Structure 1
Amino acid sequence: MRTIRVGSRKSKLALVQSGLVIESLSSKSDQFTFAIQHIVTKGDRILDVTLSKIGGKGLFVKEIERALLDGTIDFAVHSMKDMPAELPDGLEISSIPLRENPHDVLLSRGHKKLEELEPGAVVGTSSLRRAAQILQARPDLTIRPLRGNVDTRMARLNSGDFDAIILAAAGMNRLGVTEKGEDLPFHTMLPAVGQGALAIECRSEDAELKALLNTINHEETAVTVRAERSFLKRLNGSCQVPIAAYCERQNDGKLSLSGLIASPDGTKVLKTHCSGEKPELIGITAAEELLDQGAGEILSELGLESDSDA
């Protein structure tokens, strides 16, 4: 019987997500056992600086990918929104389980909605994507950085450090958090690429493991996430740029993708919407439409190009 080593960050959410995947895989086959190996990433070590200032996407995955490549672990479970558009040679996302709720949630003292917050109210988030969209909707609010795990962020809200904070609904649901909040609609807050989905990454050469992981792949989630990641890749997406996208299947069977790129202060927000049948083509087309609208100017102002991954 093969023991499969699963690399995981030590955060409560990362361990819960790894546990959910292991539970699903165990129900599909009794030919394997699983052992979790803790890995500390750069994003876990540096908590007092916003993600955009310490390297953007990849902060929570690079050390784990090194462990995959050197054979220390066999697979890892990532939040898809943390995954860079390009993966190292020899690694692949072999499985994407059913997506959780992709919305962002506003939690506030007094259970106020976004429109009900007082002018000047302090909203905590270190996500440039969230900050830009909040400021577009409510330019009279104040954004202040907030990092840490879900419990830490909620504690700072409850202690009065912030009037409101924004969390991912998926993380709250997986952790069993029942705090009352407002699911922000997509026209106000478009999610990060892949938000709510998990990425199970392993070595491309491990055919036995890939066959097992495929048993929990959710094809519809995988297809829509492919469209979003194609959009991200074309726009050179990283945490240094407020980029958002969400793709879903329409009633007529076509895929529908909404995309957005913004300046960090929310004063310039470009949006697009595309539909079609080929996920990668939809993502590229949506990105090209934003580039035609002037997305390249936003990227150049941030010192980035638009033709390769950051």
Structure 2
Amino acid sequence: MKCDTIIIGTRSSKLALWQADYVAARLREAYPELTVEKRLMTTKGDKILDAPLAKIGGKGLFTKELEQAMLAGEIDLAVHSLKDMPTEVPEGLAIAAITKRADPGDAFVSNRYASLAALPAGAAIGTSSLRRRAQLLHARPDLTIRDLRGNVNTRLAKLDAGEYDAAVLAVAGLKRLGFAERIREVLPQQLLLPAVGQGALAIETRAADAAVRERVAFLADAGTTACARAERAFLARVEGGCQVPVGVYAQPAAAGIAVEAVIASLDGARLYRDRVEGAAADAAALGTELADQLLAAGGLDVLHELGLLLDRQ
């Protein structure tokens, strides 16, 4: 069974378009006879910009409309930042490929200060991520964390307008859009563990669409896929469907794969961190094991308190 045309559904932000164009170019390069088209769509996360991500649903905000269009047969695949994808994929859909990971780090961006350490007490740093908020406050409880929503260009524009002293954004997104020079410091993972899948792209298709799945299979990176399995298994164990202040990162190690993760209270006062190593074939089990360790160490209490706090807001 062959497919002669593939329609890629994408959000209209510059980063989403870069991601879709990247996959489209790779497909055209691999299959010169293939027609690849783009269809621009708008998601709930694109429409609601005046509320924190955690309050309006967190995961799935940037994927649901694309997934509905796939199930309806209007598009054939979607390219997501893996970190934006819920751990549960809707019935009838599947992640057909996870690409080789770019830099998974978080970038400190500021027009006035050279590093996080250089920020004075009380400085306002912008981020929409509970993960970043909690870990930043653990390292610098004297900072003021303010919500910063919008696409990469919008966030940089708000920073340039003087609304914040600094902001934290994903290194990969900045580099993909040509903003590498805006990075003043890549924050060390000892201070700030990344989000699940940060830096990798996920190509989502209909589960039963063997022809499209076959076309995109060459884009999959085995090492990144194994690491993503561990990270997503960790998140699936602790998440409960909403955005939570956790960081997790898996990478190759002597034993096969090493997974490190953190669960922190929203104010950063309590932080639980640990790591496990094991065979890459056991990636998902390792992620689950690490989640259980951190939940038992005190992470479960933190997440319960966070749920009550968000319900009251």
The TM-score, its normalising length taken from structure 1, stands at 0.95
1:5 counterpart residue number: 7
Counterpart of 1:307? none
State the identity as a percent.
Answer: 48
Residue number among 278, 292, 295 corresponding to 1:288 in the alignment: 292
Question: CA contact under 8 A between 1:270 and 1:293: conserved in structure 2?
Answer: yes
Give the aligned partner of residue 155 of structure 1. 157
2:305 partner letter:
E
User: Secondary structure, in 3 states, of the residue corresponding to 2:244?
Assistant: coil
Q: Is the 8 A contact 1:129 1:192 kept in 2?
A: yes
Matched, 1:25 2:27: yes
Asked if the contact 1:259–1:273 (Cα under 8 Å) also holds between the matched residues in 2, the reply is yes
Q: Note if contact 2:94-2:207 (Cα within 8 Å) is conserved in structure 1.
A: yes
Alpha-carbon deviation of 1:123?
A: 0.3
CA drift of 1:108 comes to 1.5
Task: Name the counterpart of 2:234.
Answer: 231
Number of matched pairs: 303
Deviations 1:63-122 (A, max 9, x none): 111011111100000000000010111101000111110000001122421111101111
1:283 is aligned with what amino acid?
G
Give the deviation of 1:240 after TM superposition: 2.9
Residue aligning to 1:297: 301
Q: 2:96 matched to 1:94?
A: yes
Q: Is residue 37 of structure 1 aligned with residue 39 of structure 2?
A: yes
Alpha-carbon distance in structure 2 between the residues aligned to 1:241 and 1:132: 10
Q: Which residue of 1 aligns with 2:311?
A: none
Q: CA deviation at 1:154?
A: 1.3
Partner of 2:146: 144
Map 1:40-119 to 2 at 5 A: 40-119=42-121
Of 207, 213, 220, the residue aligned with 1:217 is 220
- Contact 1:85 1:237 (8 Å CA) reproduced: no
CA distance in 2, matches of 1:239, 1:174: 27
SS of residue matched to 2:167: strand
Change (3 A) 1:8 1:279: same
Unaligned runs of 5+ in 1: 305-310
CA RMSD of aligned residues (A): 1.3
Deviations 1:11-66 (A, max 9, x none): 00000000001111111112311110111000000001110010110000011110
C-alpha distance in structure 1 between counterparts of 2:153 and 2:78, whole Å: 23
Distance of 2:175 and 2:226 partners within structure 1: 23
